[in-house]
């Protein structure tokens, strides 16, 4: 799910707010994120610091069903324009979330869709504190990953030839068939989402200054991906690039094209 704040208008230069968003810059770390409470079960704990780990196998879990606030401190005044949440149980009936920058509401109370990747987009700002408030909880809140940072808007929109990632279901399964050839059922071993992102006519300067720094990261971490955040706000994914993407000179004037394969959580 993508939420594009209607109260704050994005500052746009030559690209629309429907341009694809690749969100990998992240200010969250184990020391600057906290929450109202966390669950302890014997020797096992689920602290807020788990949300700084990009692995979705770990996470934060609230101690009870009381209202909760997840707080991220931005001591370096880094510019941010998105909040990403992955692998959660926040799509509960009656549950709503709110986002505040330095105490000012930038995303008012609202429910979220039943997707495992949420992307909330805002006007670029440099708040010292970001609060994600949660109320109306029926089952103790759980969140595996939180990103906060500055998104990368791709230079070109995507219109055709693309599979929205939430429809790119990839399942590994076992079909049961009896010796007599009767169908006995199906067991799904795992399920992920996947897509290929192809972009063309990139100006040489934009590729070198904006996209190549992401390609060059070693190791790369998962990203939040939205292909049309305004038109299709629910078609968001939390995933990782597979393989080693490279650019290709497309035109004599230096324009470039590139593609990358994404696989993500379902």
pLDDT tens for 252-261 read 999 999 999 9
Q: What's the pLDDT at 4?
A: 54
Contact 78, 58 (CB under 8 A): no
Q: How far apart are CA 101 and CA 105, in angstroms?
A: 6
188, β-bridge pairs: 173
- Mean pLDDT across 176-187: 86
Q: How far apart are CA 25 and CA 150, in angstroms?
A: 6
Per-residue pLDDT tens for 112-165? 988 899 999 999 999 999 999 999 999 999 999 999 999 999 999 998 999 999
Assess whether pLDDT exceeds 50 at residue 262.
Answer: yes
18: phi > 0 → left, psi -120 to 50 → alpha, else beta; which?
alpha
Find where tokens 């669950």 sit. 39
Looking at the predicted structure, is the pLDDT value of residue 26 above 60?
yes
Complete domains list, the chain, with CATH: 2-151 (2.60.120.260), 165-265 (2.40.30)
Question: Residues near 166 by Cβ (< 8 Å), separated by ≥ 6?
Answer: 115, 193, 234, 235, 236, 237
What does the chain come to in residues? 266
């Amino acid at each position: 799910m993508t939420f594009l704040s209607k109260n704050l208008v994005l500052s746009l230069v030559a690209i629309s707010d429907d341009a694809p968003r690749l969100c990998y810059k992240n200010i969250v770390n184990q020391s600057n994120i906290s929450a109202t409470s966390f669950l302890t079960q014997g020797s096992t704990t689920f602290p807020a610091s788990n949300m700084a780990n990009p692995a979705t196998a770990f996470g934060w879990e609230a101690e009870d069903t009381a209202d909760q606030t997840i707080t991220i401190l931005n001591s370096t005044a880094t510019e941010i324009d998105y909040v990403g949440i992955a692998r959660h149980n926040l799509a509960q009936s009656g549950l709503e979330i709110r986002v505040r920058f330095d105490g000012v509401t930038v995303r008012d109370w609202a429910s979220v869709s039943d997707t495992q990747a949420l992307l909330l987009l805002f006007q670029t700002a440099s708040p010292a504190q970001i609060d994600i408030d949660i109320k109306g909880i029926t089952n103790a809140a759980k969140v595996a990953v939180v990103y906060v940072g500055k998104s990368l808007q791709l230079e070109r929109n995507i219109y055709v030839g693309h599979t929205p990632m939430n429809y790119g279901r990839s399942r590994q399964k076992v079909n049961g068939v009896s010796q007599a050839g009767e169908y006995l059922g199906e067991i799904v071993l795992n399920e992920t989402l996947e897509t290929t992102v192809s972009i063309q006519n990139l100006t040489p300067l934009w590729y070198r200054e904006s996209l190549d720094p992401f390609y060059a990261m070693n190791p790369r971490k998962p990203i939040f991906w939205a292909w049309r955040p305004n038109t299709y706000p629910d078609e968001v994914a939390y995933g990782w690039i597979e393989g080693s993407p490279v650019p290709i000179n497309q035109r004599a004037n230096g324009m470039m094209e590139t593609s990358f394969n994404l696989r993500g959580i379902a």
